[in-house]
């Protein structure tokens, strides 16, 4: 089928060609991601082992938040199970690398595939229930996964967890050191971010946004809302699985506590505070969630109160999160208050 506008007519005229964006391929987001990766490659210099660990943890959490940003921020599906999916990925990787000796790369792929499949199954309720009802379905799933991690001691080690999780090697080079592993995390995070960037700027991304904004209209335009709902859940969950597969060798010991329901709420906070539906939002959100508490340690026992106050003030001042605030500031500077375009 062709649009009527493609047929010749005296009434049809062509608007001037639009300005190309760096050869029509790269855009500001991709350049920011590439620059960020370069900076983070060198950033740990002089930071010490703990500082390097915090930077790596930030990126790992950013991967999980990227997945939730796709599910919630772009597709508008409320999920409270992201930490549970991260736990599934972490436990699969830990079990496979410690008990079977399988390589981390295979474990990483299996973690992604398994969480994709479980996310696909969890997506089916999303075809029937919406909004807070869907959130409660995922909440129940999250609790179930956490109970399995805690109670099935024969498999997961229960509250004692799993230890001595090995870090991967790359072309024969061991990545045991904090700096080497950090750089490995930078590369994996960059690749996953670029994959998501590609997806969001493709017609899939537009369909996810349509699903969030108006699913009835989307369906009337031929968008298979069921397919895209399931995909948003499955891909978002797979990102949490990938994050878990990196988290396990980063901390080298896992137990159920980082994958509890409260952690899912914390990941949700990172999506909202960073800017839901903004591609770079997860990095800002994870920075607030992981690094800001570290910066506030000088405040001693008050740091959590200060952290909560900062987050509340941010969301009151800018409900669209930090990315929305930055976008508004940029529009004010450049005078493009009604600018459109992708996020």
Q: Which residues bind other proteins (CB under 8 A)?
A: 1-7, 9, 11-15, 18, 199, 201-204, 206-207, 209-210, 213-214, 216-217, 219-225, 227, 277, 338-342
DSSP code of residue 74: I
Comparing CB distances to other proteins, the nearer of 13 and 297 is 13
**Beta strands 253-254; 173-174: pairing state:** unpaired
For residue 99, CA distances in Å to 103, 111, 156, 170 come to 11, 15, 11, 21
Rounded Cα–Cα distance for residues 319 and 339 (Å): 19
Smallest distance, Å, CB 199 to other proteins? 7
Give min distance, CB of 188 to other proteins, in A.
21
Between 150 and 343, name the residue whose CB sits nearer to other proteins: 343
**Cβ proximity to other proteins, 6 vs 301, nearer residue:** 6
Instruction: Give me the count of residues in the chain.
Output: 343
**CB 223, min distance to other proteins, A:** 5
Cβ atoms of 250 and 56 within 8 Å: the answer is yes
Q: Which is nearer to other proteins, 164 or 220 (CB)?
A: 220
Judged by CB, which is closer to other proteins: 25, or 171?
Answer: 25
Judged by beta carbon, residue 132 or residue 336, the one nearer other proteins is 336
Q: Classify the C-alpha dihedral 311-315-320-325 as positive or negative.
A: negative
CB of 343 to other proteins, least distance (A): 8
Nearer to other proteins, 216 or 316 (CB): 216
> Considering the complex, what minimum distance in angstroms separates the CB of residue 37 from other proteins?
22
Residue 72 CB, shortest distance to other proteins, in Å, is 15
Q: Give the shortest CB-97-to-other proteins separation in angstroms.
A: 31
3-state secondary structure 202-233: CHHHHHHHHHHHCHHHHHHCCCCHHHHHHHHH
Left if phi > 0, otherwise alpha if psi is -120 to 50, otherwise beta: which for 244? alpha
Q: Which residues pair with 174 in a beta bridge?
A: 169
**Cα separation of the two ends of the chain:** 30
- Pairwise CA distance, residues 161 & 196, whole Å: 32
CA distances in angstroms from 176 to 164, 181, 243, listed in the order given: 12, 6, 18
């Amino acid at each position: 089928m062709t649009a009527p506008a493609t047929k010749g007519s005296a009434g049809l005229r062509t608007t001037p060609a639009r300005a190309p964006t760096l050869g029509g391929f790269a855009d500001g987001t991709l350049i920011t991601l590439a620059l960020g990766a370069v900076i983070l490659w060198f950033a740990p210099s002089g930071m010490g082992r703990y500082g390097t660990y915090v930077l790596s943890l930030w990126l790992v959490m950013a991967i999980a938040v990227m997945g939730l940003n796709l599910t919630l921020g772009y597709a508008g599906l409320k999920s409270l199970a992201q930490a549970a999916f991260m736990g599934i990925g972490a436990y699969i990787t830990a079990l496979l690398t410690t008990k079977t000796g399988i390589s981390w790369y295979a474990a990483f792929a299996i973690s992604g595939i398994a969480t994709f499949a479980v996310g696909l199954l969890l997506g089916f309720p999303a075809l029937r229930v919406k909004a807070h009802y869907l959130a409660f379905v995922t909440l129940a799933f999250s609790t179930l996964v956490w109970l399995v991690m805690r109670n099935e001691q024969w498999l997961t080690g229960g509250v004692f967890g799993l230890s001595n999780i090995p870090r991967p090697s790359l072309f024969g080079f061991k990545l045991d050191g904090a700096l080497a592993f950090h750089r490995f995390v930078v590369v994996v995070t960059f690749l996953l971010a670029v994959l998501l960037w590609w997806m969001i700027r493709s017609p899939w991304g537009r369909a996810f946004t349509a699903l969030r904004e108006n699913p009835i209209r989307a369906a009337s335009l031929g968008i298979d809302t069921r397919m895209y709902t399931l995909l948003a859940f499955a891909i978002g969950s797979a990102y949490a699985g990938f994050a878990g597969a990196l988290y396990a060798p980063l901390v080298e010991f896992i137990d159920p506590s980082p994958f509890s329901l409260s952690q899912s709420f914390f990941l949700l906070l990172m999506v909202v505070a960073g800017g839901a539906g903004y591609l770079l939002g997860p990095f800002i959100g994870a920075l607030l969630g992981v690094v800001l508490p570290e910066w506030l340690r000088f405040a001693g026992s008050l740091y959590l109160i200060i952290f909560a106050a900062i987050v509340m003030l941010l969301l009151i001042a800018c409900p669209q999160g930090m990315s929305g605030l930055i976008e508004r500031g940029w529009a004010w500077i450049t005078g493009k208050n009604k600018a459109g375009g992708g996020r």
